[in-house]
Amino acid sequence: MKHYLSSGIAASLLLGSASFAFAASELTIESWRNDDLSIWQETILPAFMKSHPDVKIRFSPTAPTQYNAALNAKLEGGTAGDLITCRPFDSSLDLYSKGYLKNLQGMATLDNFPDSAKGAWSTDDGSATFCVPMAAVIHGFIYNKDAFAEIGVEPPKTQAEFMAVLDKIKEDGNYIPMAMGTLDQWESATMGYQNIGPMYWKGEEGRKAIVAGTGKLTDDGWVKPFEVLADWGPYLGDGYEAQSYPDSQTLFTLGRAAIYPSGSWEIAGFNKDTDFELGAFRPPLPAEGDSCYISDHTDIGIGLNAASKNSEAAMKFLEWMGTEEFAELYSNAVPGFFSLSTHEISLTDPLADEFISWRKDCQSTNRSAAQIVSRGTPNLWNEMWVVSANVINGKQTPADAANQLQKGLSAWYEPQMD
Amino acid sequence: MVIERKKKPFRWHVLVFLGPAIIVYTMIMILPLAETLRFSFFLRDTSTQVVSFAGLENYIKLFFDPYWAKPFLNSLWNNCYFFLIHMLVQNPIGILIAALLSMVHLPGRKLYRTAIFMPTLLSFVVVGFIWKLMLSPLWGVSKGLMKSVGVGSWYLPFLGKEETALTTLSLISVWQFIGIPMMLIYAALLSVPDEVIEAAECDGVTGISQFFRIKLVLILPTIGIISILTFVGNFNAFDLIYTTQGPLAGPNFSTDLLGTILYRTFYGQQLQPGDPNMGAAIATVMFFIILTGVAIYLFFIQRKLTRYEM
């Protein structure tokens, strides 16, 4: 028995060191994007290795729901890959403050990204950046072009036009004006409040004011979007209170709804599932001539494992991520996930191209609860889910909803305390 | 006499036989329980990651900080309501079905028994998904079914309304678990001896009054056990809510149970960082709630129940 046991241990040690030796010869990227495995293996990595024949690199994804826990365990055990795909804001900041990610401040490649993109992977004071921004998702409305043509409406530009379009679709009666439900609450906050909100709270300006404590969530810019949401209810499908996110997706892809408040991450799936023509319009302006802000949420970055034995080779990859080549390659390979670099790129997918074109006229911002202000109890982001759904359901007035958010935030967030 | 008797050697085999069970039980039940309790006395600083002893601070926060106490009491109340519905619906109907099944002349008894017990064997996820689909305002059958019997105007998006969501979920859970009280009571009813029934019939006690005066009295201890099983099960419930309503137990936390608030607190939720120490405090409070309930039953109710030798 003892004999078997010790030989077993010896064998596993051998195996362990063998795999370690193997890992040392090539770089490994840790990621949660297992949907993108083939894209990395067939498109992105070969392109990189073509220009850098001395570096070998492997993409090794984990299931999204297990990623954070698995990565933490691997980092603690010292077995994590050289390149770490970073979630935005606090979960990566947490890894950095534990010393698992290297400070990349000063890397030339970072100059290719705007501050709003780097903010998602920087310390609160901006003194250190620990991941290279990779991709963002943009909020907007996807619509059924055939339905719009049939009813004879044009994509709206302003809030007033938007309501007129909804009225017309409702009058026509063949389509549900908008596919959205409030059961999961997440939709109400993301596709609702965070989608249309930046236009009212003026993007980064409003978001930073909340973080700094100079603005309040009860200010006009933060209450207005709730007032807009409060009018959505009648245009959603029957029983939308019990409609879940997959329900909404199916409703739209079956062609039963005309508009789908959403984000660019749906593009790949919708292209596959629909047999009608898709279009997209950006969140309506509060009024003609207002300046335009869109939610261009930083979602994915890549950082360097501080314990990596191949940091030099890994740095080469990070440098390459700031090039136009990567930006164009990636954004085309994964439609709906847009490179965050400042290069002007062209996309072959018309829907994705429509989304990214908004960056030209509009200023980008992150989801308002993503940075710093969701660290305490009550959790601002959770509260946003709940009150957004309440407002659409008609269970809470917009002013009440904003009050609840502000009261909750000021209960623990020092800059917001009275 | 006692003094004269030779001192018995220590019976080692008792320890040897008990040992494995005690070790396993300690490792997988008692240690984690003690660890949870210990965990709840600590605090982790979110920025420095330093864990320090905090005494009762987590508990004080849980009961007196309005941003903890309100959701916690809300989930506690919801949980009581969830339990109440089970006691009022699941157990009486379970008894009724068992009584019907134990009638001698009922045709297709075995079929009914199996069919009614079946949902208990299903996974929560399956049950949650099936019912969510049936009740769905878009693709569900419930709307059409209600219309066909003339109550179509009563149809609501049951899972999406604050007023109806928790009741609906309680009834789904009742549907799933009704097989357990049915089976236990069915077994208890079968063990009521024929002599007692015959004696009752001789005294002219028949039919409904026979059931209430003779059988129900004899199966009371079983009903007690069922109540306590329901209590423990309900206060540990989590899966059904999580699969149908998501981690925030919407709408507006109206279906939040102790299990869901524990899950959110312990593991976090999207941007809400997980707080294992606070989670441990909630778990400990849950443990004591269940312990109190079981103790009340054991010391005050079970003792008063008369067991009849049958």
Q: Determine the distance in angstroms separating the CA of A344 from the nearest CA of chain B, rounded to an integer.
A: 32
**Cα separation, A338 vs A300, whole angstroms:** 10
Mean pLDDT to the nearest integer, A261-272:
91
| Nearest of A242, A286, A317 to residue A54 by alpha carbon | A317
Give the pLDDT score at B90: 95
The string of pLDDT tens digits covering residues A223-234 is: 999 999 999 999
Compute the mean pLDDT over every residue in chain A, rounded to the nearest whole number.
Answer: 89
Q: Do A90 and B271 touch (CB under 8 A)?
A: yes
Say yes or no: A403 contacts chain B, CB-CB below 8 A. no
Say yes or no: B273 contacts chain A, CB-CB below 8 A. yes
Mean pLDDT to the nearest integer, A314-322:
92
The string of pLDDT tens digits covering residues A192-206 is: 999 999 999 999 999
Q: Do B161 and A97 touch (CB under 8 A)?
A: no
The C-alpha angle with vertex A86 and arms to A84 and A91, in degrees rounded to 5, equals 120
**Cα separation, A341 vs A265, whole angstroms:** 18
Q: Determine the distance in angstroms separating the CA of A4 from the nearest CA of chain B, rounded to an integer.
A: 24
Evaluate the CA torsion angle B49, B51, B56, B58 in order and state its sign: positive
| Nearest of B236, B249, B251 to residue B289 by alpha carbon | B236
Give the pLDDT score at A166: 96
Say yes or no: A103 contacts chain B, CB-CB below 8 A. no
The string of pLDDT tens digits covering residues A21-80 is: 344 458 999 999 888 888 899 999 999 999 998 899 999 998 887 788 889 889 988 999
| Predicted confidence (pLDDT) at residue A300 exceeds the cutoff of 90 | yes
The C-alpha angle with vertex A137 and arms to A136 and A141, in degrees rounded to 5, equals 155
Give the pLDDT score at B235: 95
Tokens of A46: 């070969």
Give the pLDDT score at B105: 80
Residues of chain B neighbouring A253 (CB-CB closer than 8 A): none
- Per-residue pLDDT of chain B (310 residues), as tens digits, is 455 567 778 888 888 999 999 999 999 999 999 999 999 999 987 767 788 898 899 999 999 999 999 999 999 999 999 999 999 999 999 999 999 998 878 888 889 999 999 999 999 899 999 999 999 999 889 989 999 999 888 899 999 999 999 999 999 999 999 999 999 999 999 988 889 989 999 998 888 898 998 899 899 999 999 999 999 999 999 999 999 998 899 899 999 999 999 999 988 887 888 888 999 999 999 999 999 999 999 998 888 777 776 5
Say yes or no: B272 contacts chain A, CB-CB below 8 A. yes
- Cβ atoms within 10 Å, residue A237: 21
Give the pLDDT score at B309: 64
Of B46, B49, B157, the CB nearest to A241: B157
Is-contact A135 A335, C-beta < 8 A? Answer: no
DSSP per residue, A209-235: HHHHTSS-TTSHHHHHHHHHHHTTGGG
CB pairs under 8 A between A and B: 100
Largest CA distance in chain B: 87
| Predicted confidence (pLDDT) at residue A14 exceeds the cutoff of 70 | no
Q: How confident is the model at residue A16 (pLDDT cuts 50, 70, 90)?
A: very low
Residue with tokens 């935005």: A88
Say yes or no: B214 contacts chain A, CB-CB below 8 A. no
Report residue B265 CA to chain centroid gap. Answer: 21
Lowest mean pLDDT among A4-8, A37-41, A128-132, A292-296: A4-8
What ipTM score was computed for the predicted complex, to two decimals?
0.86
Is-contact A213 A393, C-beta < 8 A? Answer: no
Residues of chain A neighbouring B270 (CB-CB closer than 8 A): 381-382
Give the pLDDT score at A2: 44
| Predicted confidence (pLDDT) at residue A98 exceeds the cutoff of 60 | yes
Give the pLDDT score at A80: 92
Residue with tokens 């499908």: A237
Q: Find the residue in B nearest to A247 (Cα).
A: B138
Q: How confident is the model at residue A11 (pLDDT cuts 50, 70, 90)?
A: very low
B142, B271, B272, B277: which to substitute to probe chain A, counting the most A Cβ within 10 Å? Answer: B271
Rounded to two decimals, the pTM is 0.86
Give the pLDDT score at B273: 81
Q: Find the residue in B nearest to A385 (Cα).
A: B248
Q: Find the residue in B nearest to A367 (Cα).
A: B271
Give the pLDDT score at A377: 87
Q: Do B136 and A247 touch (CB under 8 A)?
A: yes
Give the pLDDT score at B5: 65
- The dihedrals phi and psi of B8, each to the nearest 5 degrees, come to -70, 140
